[in-house]
């Protein structure tokens, strides 16, 4: 069996108000809430997972909503943009939708030969919708408002901003197996060929840029995808060989993971495909129930009383 990184597994970000977050991602953006659970370290806070129908790795965006949290600031040592892939010709739909719903966006632009539309979520988290050159065949989640002609397919890329990209690039190329594909001005595009989608990391080198502050509206970490636990441990050894600190294997109920801070300052995670989100809910039911890890079942009533209502 090959030991491979399979692109992005999930991205985790920080939000403010839980209901606003839920309404934006399920309503405006048309994603499926695939898991509603709590922060395992802070069970009075939600942990939302949004994705496609099944919560396929490469489509999963997760949030910790903390009411009243201060706003973060984009800068270096951060994932500064999250890119989704959308069908060709759908950017007009999205631009109209953002206009109607008072979402902050920029007019479409082009980079690496692809049209994209930038927008901010209610907490200021920055996104791009990209009409990808390579046709994206990943099945989409459809809602009454966002049908298949326009719905997002899953991640296209992430952007990391850095003063000097060398050390981060070395992790991507020497440990993970990404290759530098293209450079436009100060943006270098790294691509991994083990998967067709969610396989791009852009490094933006901005020598004068200040360090960002990770808080509301910021990405907390990005998780890269591996097939299983054996592969996870193979990469753990590789990372330790490079002299980097990394956690032990952690059971996140829906995947197994490891965390390490890459030398450029961004928190990276490696996460497995197994066991997946249907381990404690059927495919139809995904996201409908508040799922608690075993250690918190005894205080379910208390937790349910404290968590904000979503409807």
Q: Give the binding site for Zn ion (CB under 5 A).
A: 12, 223, 269
Q: How far is the CB of 60 from Zn ion (least distance, A)?
A: 9
Start-to-end Cα distance in the chain:
46
Give me the residue label for tokens 């839920």.
22
Q: Which is nearer to Zn ion, 132 or 171 (CB)?
A: 171
Q: How far is the CB of 292 from Zn ion (least distance, A)?
A: 18
101 C-beta neighbours (distance < 10 Å), count: 10
Question: Residue 11: which residues within 8 A CB-CB, separation 6 or more?
Answer: 60, 61, 62, 79, 82, 155, 158, 219, 221, 222, 223
β-pair type (255-261, 250-251): antiparallel
Q: Which is nearer to Zn ion, 128 or 269 (CB)?
A: 269
Q: Which is nearer to Zn ion, 114 or 269 (CB)?
A: 269
Report the alpha-carbon distance of residue 6 to residue 58 in Å, rounded.
9
Report the alpha-carbon distance of residue 182 to residue 226 in Å, rounded.
25
Report the alpha-carbon distance of residue 144 to residue 75 in Å, rounded.
37
Q: How far is the CB of 124 from Zn ion (least distance, A)?
A: 21
Query: Quick one: 111 exposed, middle or buried, by C-beta within 10 A (0-12, 13-18, 19+)?
Result: middle
Q: Which is nearer to Zn ion, 56 or 90 (CB)?
A: 56
Q: How far is the CB of 267 from Zn ion (least distance, A)?
A: 9
Q: Which is nearer to Zn ion, 262 or 269 (CB)?
A: 269
Q: How far is the CB of 11 from Zn ion (least distance, A)?
A: 8
Q: How far is the CB of 210 from Zn ion (least distance, A)?
A: 26
Q: Which is nearer to Zn ion, 205 or 269 (CB)?
A: 269
């Amino acid at each position: 069996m090959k030991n491979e990184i399979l692109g992005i597994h999930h991205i985790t970000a920080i939000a403010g108000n839980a209901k606003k977050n839920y309404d934006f991602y399920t309503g405006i953006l048309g994603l499926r809430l695939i898991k509603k659970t709590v922060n395992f370290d802070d069970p009075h806070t939600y942990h939302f997972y949004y994705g496609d129908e099944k919560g396929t790795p490469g489509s999963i965006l997760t949030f910790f909503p903390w009411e009243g949290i201060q706003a973060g600031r984009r800068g270096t040592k951060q994932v500064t943009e999250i890119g989704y892939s959308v069908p060709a010709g759908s950017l007009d739909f999205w631009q109209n939708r953002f206009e109607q719903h008072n979402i902050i966006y920029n007019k479409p632009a082009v980079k690496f030969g692809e049209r994209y539309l930038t927008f901010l979520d209610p907490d200021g988290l920055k996104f791009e919708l990209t009409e990808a050159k390579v046709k994206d065949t990943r099945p989409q989640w459809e809602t009454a408002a966002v049908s298949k002609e326009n719905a997002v397919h899953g991640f296209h890329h992430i952007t990391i901003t850095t003063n000097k990209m060398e050390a981060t690039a070395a992790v991507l190329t020497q440990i993970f197996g990404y290759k530098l594909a293209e450079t436009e001005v100060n943006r270098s595009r790294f691509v991994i060929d083990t998967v067709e989608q969610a396989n791009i990391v852009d490094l933006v080198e901005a020598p004068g840029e200040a360090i960002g502050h990770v808080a509301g509206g910021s990405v907390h970490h990005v998780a890269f995808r591996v097939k299983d636990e054996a592969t996870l441990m193979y990469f753990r050894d590789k990372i330790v060989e490079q002299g980097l600190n990394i956690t032990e294997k952690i059971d996140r109920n829906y995947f197994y993971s490891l965390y390490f801070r890459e030398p450029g300052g961004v928190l990276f995670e490696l996460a497995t495909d197994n066991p997946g989100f249907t381990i404690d809910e059927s495919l139809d039911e995904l996201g409908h129930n508040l799922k608690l890890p075993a250690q918190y079942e005894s205080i379910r009533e208390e937790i349910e009383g404290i968590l904000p209502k979503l409807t």
